[in-house]
């Protein structure tokens, strides 16, 4: 039988330290994942905004004749397009 002595307090401290490091690592990974998702959402919003403005300009210039055509081009229903258009300012 092999008996070893160890310092229980030191062992528990090492165990907590390992847990803390693992928690930090997992938190960082989750933070990066959330940051990427938010970045993608922001990119989509910005792209939709620019696309909607371009579509409004095409309507204004007579390239597109009907709001239904503009909504279809923007990938929206007519109601969604009209609601989005009312919130936009042409830049």
CA–CA gap between residue 45 and residue 77 (Å, rounded):
17
**In which residue are the tokens 């919130």 written?**
87
Cα–Cα distance between 38 and 47 in angstroms, integer? 14
The pLDDT of residue 30 is 93
**Rounded mean pLDDT for each run of 10 residues along the chain, 91 residues in total:** 73 92 93 89 79 75 76 81 72 46
Residue 78's closest CA among 69, 87, 68?
68
Q: pTM of this prediction?
A: 0.45
Q: Report pLDDT for 1.
A: 54
pLDDT for 91: 46
Task: Tell me which H or E stretch contains 54.
Answer: helix 8-60
């Amino acid at each position: 039988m092999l008996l070893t002595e160890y310092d229980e307090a030191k062992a528990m401290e090492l165990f907590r330290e390992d847990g803390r490091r693992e928690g930090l690592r997992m938190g960082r990974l989750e933070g990066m994942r959330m940051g990427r998702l938010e970045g993608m959402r922001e990119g989509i919003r910005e792209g939709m905004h620019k696309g909607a403005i371009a579509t409004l300009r095409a309507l204004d210039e007579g390239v597109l004749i009907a709001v239904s055509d503009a909504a279809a081009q923007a990938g929206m229903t007519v109601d969604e397009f009209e609601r989005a258009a009312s919130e936009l300012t042409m830049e």
